[in-house]
Structure 1
Amino acid sequence: HAEFDVYASEFPKSISKEINLKNKEGAIENAEKILGRVKEIFAIVAVSPRAAGLEQKKPYIFEALVSGGDIKKQFAHVKELLGKEIRIDQIFETGATIDVAAITKGKGWQGVIQRFGVKKKQHKSRKTVREVASLGPISPASVMYSVPRAGQMGFHQRTEYDKRIMVMGNTENNKIKINPDGGYKHFGLVKGDFIILKGSVPGTYRRLIKLRSQIRNAPIKITKPNILEVVV
């Protein structure tokens, strides 16, 4: 259970409609007194799609684990950022490798051929062709979880690892042009902070993508890539 909750004194207008909580008197001082029995600190983070130029009004609100250093350093870091806007260059740097998590594209209800890549049967083999040949042995009288079955495909949360940050900047003061004439298809013009990754990212257009520090094969030294040209 939570040992303490500390909230910002003021929320932006778009977020105040979703969160309307106020601190108890002396909340920060009381939190500092009981840091000795705290093991983890989580920050409640809100992302406003309007800041990225999207029409969606409702913000995304979720918890983010605070890591690095001991509990006192983590609390001091979160206390300093409380109620402030966090820019992407405060968290990551160009050349770093990160992990991305998002909800994949939804495909709806699909059969085993599309969902698992099962081979089709012969056209005169039995009643059906696009079906698994056998669901398993006669005993035990149950179907194993590992047998391919039809069902929901896509619209799952998936994490992809080791994506390198190639370019990071802001559209207002960036030398590299990243917006094509007329904007991107199904998205429009990129406004504000942006990031270009090497590799693919799960999800469809305008979908929330969560970034985190790399947890696999972290390099000892971060080297910045030499970007000569960006073609859009």
Structure 2
Amino acid sequence: MPTIKKPRSGSMQYWPRKRAKREIARVRSFASGAEPELLGFAGYKAGMTHVMMNDNKATSKTKGQEIFCPVTIIECPALIAASIIFYKKTTNGLKAASAVMASNLNKELKRRISIPKSIKKKIEDFKAEEYDDIRMLVYTQPKLTTIGKKKPELFEIQLNGKIEEKLAWAKDHLGKEIQVTDVLKEGQHFDIHAITKGKGYQGPMKRFGISRTSHKSEKGVRTPANIGPWTGAKQWTVAKAGQTGYHQRIELSKWLIKVGTKPEEINNKSGFKRYGIVKNPFILVKGSVAGPVKRLIILTNPLRPNKKIPKEAPSITYISK
């Protein structure tokens, strides 16, 4: 009998496979853009549907024809710029040196952080040449949705441009709403940052995708046949049972096929299952997105754009409700 060869089951990229520390994904790197702008946005996953669209991929066999495409709906209520954070370079990398908060923050933000009664620092007192980087601290408005939540999420987003351009852009938008139409455009690519669906404690077959052993195997057939060497305090190359899901993951180069401002284009009478009615601007993303419904999805400029995906949005002929 020939020797059977197959790739190992389960990726060694992620270790340890444990629950994420918080429900909001942590963005560690941003791609630069062309103009002074916010390099990301966020929204709540509402569910999935399908559309009929004209295929505009140059190398596709169905180019110019009407095709079926599954899409994910992400509701994107406006973000509000809560604070500007100023960074300086140190021997240990960039460190936050100072910050200035907006004076007109929503009362719901008190559920997340303690808001100062009076703001002593003014944006006019900060000079761009004294700092090495400037970022925006923004928060969401889940109260505008139907997910039954008021406590906003708070996270940082990088700004694009030179340090002077960043400061000028931040001054104009501090304390104001930032709409999804100001950041995302139809046809563009972006990366998805999210926490996946939690599955709890699962066995090695579901957790790593190993094969079922022979029915004559002793002590179980849904377990690995060899659990590794005796030496070594811990084995991590062998598939074992444990926590599955609720991990932070990034998906590169997703395709934005529509930015909508009319929720009636996608809403049905009963709303989306376990979510409700979409009331705010929304986006349609080709394919699936990590996480269950109601989870916050952070969208950022693509780090490695896929050249095979068109840069123009397809023409949509039908959206299933």
Please state how far the C-alpha of 1:214 moved relative to its aligned partner. 1.2
Describe the shift of the 1:86–1:12 C-alpha distance in structure 2 as closer, same or farther (beyond 3 A): same
Kindly indicate whether residue 135 of structure 2 is the aligned counterpart of residue 42 of structure 1.
yes
Q: Give the Cα–Cα distance (whole angstroms) in 1 for the partners of residues 211 and 316 of structure 2.
A: 44
**Gaps in structure 1 of 5+ consecutive residues:** none
C-alpha distance after superposition, 1:196-228 (max 9, x if no partner):
111110111111111111111266984232122
Kindly indicate whether residue 240 of structure 2 is the aligned counterpart of residue 149 of structure 1.
yes
Please state how far the C-alpha of 1:178 moved relative to its aligned partner. 0.7
Describe the shift of the 1:170–1:118 C-alpha distance in structure 2 as closer, same or farther (beyond 3 A): same
C-alpha distance after superposition, 1:102-138 (max 9, x if no partner):
1111100011111001112223322222211112234
Conserved 8 A contact 1:95-1:166: yes
Conserved 8 A contact 2:142-2:152: yes
- One-letter amino acid of the counterpart of residue 54, structure 1: I
Query: Which residue, 91, 96, 100 being the options, matches 1:2?
Result: 96
Query: Which residue, 95, 107, 119 being the options, matches 1:23?
Result: 119
Conserved 8 A contact 1:101-1:160: yes
Describe the shift of the 1:180–1:98 C-alpha distance in structure 2 as closer, same or farther (beyond 3 A): same
Conserved 8 A contact 2:187-2:312: yes
What is residue 133 of structure 1 aligned with on the other side?
A: 225
Q: Give the Cα–Cα distance (whole angstroms) in 1 for the partners of residues 313 and 220 of structure 2.
A: 55
Query: Which residue, 216, 226, 237 being the options, matches 1:124?
Result: 216
- One-letter amino acid of the counterpart of residue 15, structure 1: L
Q: Give the Cα–Cα distance (whole angstroms) in 1 for the partners of residues 232 and 258 of structure 2.
A: 56
Q: Give the Cα–Cα distance (whole angstroms) in 2 for the partners of residues 37 and 164 of structure 1.
A: 38
Say which structure is richer in helix: 1
- One-letter amino acid of the counterpart of residue 131, structure 2: V
Kindly indicate whether residue 315 of structure 2 is the aligned counterpart of residue 226 of structure 1.
yes
Q: Give the Cα–Cα distance (whole angstroms) in 1 for the partners of residues 235 and 111 of structure 2.
A: 47
What is residue 305 of structure 2 aligned with on the other side?
A: 217
**Gaps in structure 2 of 5+ consecutive residues:** 1-94
The secondary structure found in structure 2 opposite 1:4 is strand
Kindly indicate whether residue 150 of structure 2 is the aligned counterpart of residue 57 of structure 1.
yes
Kindly indicate whether residue 195 of structure 2 is the aligned counterpart of residue 110 of structure 1.
no
Conserved 8 A contact 1:163-1:197: yes
The secondary structure found in structure 1 opposite 2:238 is coil
Describe the shift of the 1:150–1:221 C-alpha distance in structure 2 as closer, same or farther (beyond 3 A): closer
What is residue 296 of structure 2 aligned with on the other side?
A: 208
Please state how far the C-alpha of 1:37 moved relative to its aligned partner. 4.3
Say which structure is richer in strand: 2
CA-atom RMSD in angstroms = 2.1
Alignment: residue pair count: 224
Q: Give the Cα–Cα distance (whole angstroms) in 1 for the partners of residues 97 and 166 of structure 2.
A: 15
Please state how far the C-alpha of 1:159 moved relative to its aligned partner. 1.2
C-alpha distance after superposition, 1:49-89 (max 9, x if no partner):
112232101111112222x2111111111111100011001
Q: Give the Cα–Cα distance (whole angstroms) in 1 for the partners of residues 287 and 108 of structure 2.
A: 33
Query: So what's the TM-score if we normalise by structure 1?
Result: 0.88
Q: Give the Cα–Cα distance (whole angstroms) in 2 for the partners of residues 181 and 104 of structure 1.
A: 28
Q: Give the Cα–Cα distance (whole angstroms) in 2 for the partners of residues 72 and 11 of structure 1.
A: 25
Query: Which residue, 154, 160, 166 being the options, matches 2:257?
Result: 166
Kindly indicate whether residue 181 of structure 2 is the aligned counterpart of residue 85 of structure 1.
no
